[in-house]
């Protein structure tokens, strides 16, 4: 008997996480449907190798009946939500829009799934920012939440609604509490990509310096491809649960610079300059994950370490610029 190809819907399909997940699902013989705001713009954003493999459909994120029609039409097995206003420097910008997209839109998705087919499995890309000013470090699934920005607050609202829909309606809905995850596909407004891109420009003689804020700021950085694999694993489990997905280690921006510059045979001290306008004070408590639950229950382990990740990002930017 011919086995039907499973269908997965992804919002935010043209972003870093959406692209890596699409490749993973296509390798596992899924049909991938990307929900976007504008099909023509999204097509241009997709890598050439994925343009014919992903079916794109438009959705106004305020329109629940439209999403219900989309879900009825495609009958997906899985639904991944990566659509969100960005974190990083934009966590305080346009607070009402952040609330709508990062928070209320998730409830609209859950309501559409509940209306059409409660067997659809849903995964939300949540964030370590729901812990915010945590009094506990490292943070696990049982750590109290204390968001410090509109971004974190909206993500926490979505996280709580997933819990409610899971308990009240029996949906297979879960949150992946993701710590910082990077790749050559990261946007230039994130510090990791800003550094890798500028290092490549300096190496190629296209720039002479790199301006940064607090070099002592520390983050728990991992590889985006590893993190989307964890999300896929979450939806293959017998029961829906939330998981912290992290490297469980922190590195400073200074370490990141040292690693990136040394990868191309340069000393970061010769090129990095202070930018007082970008300076952020060091947090009293570090956002660093404790992903033991994911490692034990999912059997998940990150494959790409910090130094290999930074080197790959620099290499990709060298290739891009050259």
State pLDDT tens for residues 289-304: 999 999 999 999 999 9
| pLDDT score, position 283 | 58
- Check whether domain 184-220+249-288+303-321 has CATH 3.40.50.20, yes or no: no
| pLDDT score, position 94 | 81
User: Is this structure's pTM higher than 0.85?
Assistant: yes
Residue 65: count other Cβ atoms within 10 Å of its Cβ: 9
| pLDDT score, position 286 | 85
The fourth-level CATH superfamily of domain 7-181+223-245 is: NAD(P)-binding Rossmann-like Domain (3.40.50.720)
Q: Give CA–CA dist 244/100, Å, rounded.
A: 24
Q: Which residues of the chain are in CATH 3.40.50.720 domains? A: 7-181+223-245
Q: pLDDT tens-digit profile of 143-154?
A: 999 999 999 999
Q: Which residues of the chain have pLDDT under 70?
A: 1-3, 87-92, 276-285
Tokens representing residue 207 in the block: 């720039």
Q: Between the CA atoms of 100, 67, 175 and 184, what dihedral angle is there, to the nearest 10 degrees?
A: -80
Q: pLDDT tens-digit profile of 156-166?
A: 999 999 999 99
Tell me the catalytic residues: 127, 129, 151
- Exposed/middle/buried for 148, CB within 10 Å: 0-12, 13-18, 19+? middle
| pLDDT score, position 179 | 97
Q: Which residues of the chain are in CATH 3.90.25.10 domains? A: 184-220+249-288+303-321
Q: What is the DSSP string of 78-113?
A: EEEE------GGGTTSSHHHHIIIIIIHHHHHHHHH
């Amino acid at each position: 008997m011919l086995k039907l190809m499973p269908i997965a819907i992804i919002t935010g399909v043209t972003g870093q996480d959406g692209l890596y997940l699409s490749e993973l699902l296509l390798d596992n013989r899924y049909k991938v449907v990307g929900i976007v705001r504008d099909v023509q713009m999204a097509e241009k954003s997709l890598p050439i190798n994925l343009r014919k493999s992903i079916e794109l459909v438009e959705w106004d994120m305020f329109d629940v009946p439209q999403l219900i029609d989309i879900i009825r039409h495609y009958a997906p097995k899985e639904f991944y939500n990566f659509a969100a206003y960005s974190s990083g420097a934009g966590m305080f910008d346009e607070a009402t829009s952040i609330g709508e997209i990062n928070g209320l839109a998730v409830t609209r998705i859950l309501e559409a799934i509940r209306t059409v087919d409660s067997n659809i499995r849903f995964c939300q890309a949540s964030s370590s920012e729901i812990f915010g000013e945590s009094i506990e470090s490292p943070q696990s699934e049982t750590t109290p939440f204390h968001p410090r920005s509109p971004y974190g607050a909206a993500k926490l609202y979505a996280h709580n609604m997933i819990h409610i829909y899971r308990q009240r309606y029996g949906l297979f809905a879960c949150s992946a509490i993701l710590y910082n995850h990077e790749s050559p596909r990261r946007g230039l407004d994130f510090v990791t990509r800003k550094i890798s891109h500028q290092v490549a420009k300096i190496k190629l003689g296209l720039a002479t310096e790199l301006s940064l804020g607090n070099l002592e700021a520390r983050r728990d950085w991992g590889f985006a491809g590893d993190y989307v694999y964890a999300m896929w694993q979450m939806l293959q489990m017998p029961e829906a649960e939330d998981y912290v997905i992290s490297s469980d280690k922190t590195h400073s921006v200074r370490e990141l610079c040292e690693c990136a510059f040394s990868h191309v045979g340069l000393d970061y001290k010769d090129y990095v300059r202070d930018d007082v306008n970008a300076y952020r004070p060091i947090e009293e408590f570090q956002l660093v994950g404790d992903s033991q639950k994911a490692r034990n229950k999912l059997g998940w382990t990150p494959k790409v370490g910090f130094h290999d990740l930074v080197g790959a990002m620099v290499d990709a930017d060298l290739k891009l610029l050259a």
